[in-house]
Amino acid sequence: MNLSYFSKIRILDGGMGQHILSKGLKPKGSLWSGTALIDKKYHQMVIDSHLDFIKSGADVIVTNNFAGRRVRMVQNNVENLFDYANEKAGELALKAKEISKKNILIAGSLPAQNDTYVLDEREKKIIEKGFYDQAKLIKPFVDFFYLDVMSGSKECEIALNVTEKFNLPVLVGLHIKKNSRLPSGESITEVVKRCKNNSLLGVILACVSPEIIESTANEMKDLKIPFGYKANLWKDEEPVPVHKFALPTDEIGANPVETMGTRDDYTGETFLNFSKKMMNKGATILGGCCEIKPSHIKAISKLK
């Protein structure tokens, strides 16, 4: 694909996991949306969720394997389904694209390989294997890789070394705290300097509140590369790792909303006004993460 793809306004999808939950998914333990990959009865629900975002105007959909990382599968005693779940995420995204008959792109999710919103302190080889195993399985179905909610340059560098082997471009998604730094303590600028490479499509803030995104816009603009966001609408401005609200031993896992809340008052029009402000600051990559619904994406699709 053209590396300048995100130099013009592009609309990403919203929060797939939360949208599937809203359709009736009953997650097992801490598998969250990964349950919809390993249980065949939910496969059409995944396709329909992708289609909801495509119909709302998304130019890009992201594969639903955020919870398909190996560590989560091991925790829930379904490691034997790791290959199946990640391949299925790619297949279902591609099926949705084919049904839609729209010229959208598919981004392959490569999530942080341990817990979310915290730096992975494990050995490099373990993290590298996690990224490689997922990338290998979803690569046949995707147009580019999306580093999904990275917490520091360590993860980014390891992931980029892996994606280079597959010869696909990469969009980097960084998670930022209220202090405008990653969980690693690094600034956005520091991480991007360490992780910049020839296949970089752009950098976005991933699963971050609109307020934090707005407060870091000037720093993002100074990077001189395409930038934007996948905003969340958690009521809790700094979301907690998944183990804080769901246990692998739970027969039915909790909806993250029960712990972090949702901003029901943040309408499509509110998201549109926020997105207009960010466009004025130079953002070209607009989209959502947890609790951003198709209605929010439809509202901002008119900005293209």
Which tens digit of pLDDT belongs to each residue from 252-265?
A: 778 888 888 999 99
Per DSSP, helices labelled H in 165-228 are 188-195, 210-215, 217-221
Per DSSP, helices labelled H in 23-143 are 35-38, 43-55, 70-75, 82-100, 124-138
Instruction: Dump pLDDT digits (tens) for 126-177.
Output: 999 999 999 999 999 999 999 999 999 999 999 999 999 999 999 999 999 9
Q: What percent of the chain has a predicted confidence (pLDDT) above 90? A: 89
Dihedral angle of Cα 175, 209, 289, 196, to the nearest 10 degrees: -30
Output the pTM of the full model. Answer: 0.96
Model confidence at 268: pLDDT above 80 = yes
Residue 259 is predicted with a pLDDT of 83
Model confidence at 52: pLDDT above 90 = yes
Distance CA 55, CA 216 (A): 30
Contact 299, 272 (CB under 8 A): yes
Instruction: Dump pLDDT digits (tens) for 199-250.
Output: 999 999 999 999 999 999 999 999 999 999 999 999 988 888 766 667 777 7
Q: Which of 145, 159, 69 has its CA nearest to residue 108?
A: 145
Q: What percent of the chain has a predicted confidence (pLDDT) above 70? A: 99
The CATH superfamily label for domain 5-301 reads Homocysteine-binding-like domain (3.20.20.330)
Distance CA 51, CA 183 (A): 33
Residue 43 is predicted with a pLDDT of 98
User: Mean per-residue pLDDT for 67-81?
Assistant: 95
Cβ atoms within 10 Å, residue 265: 7
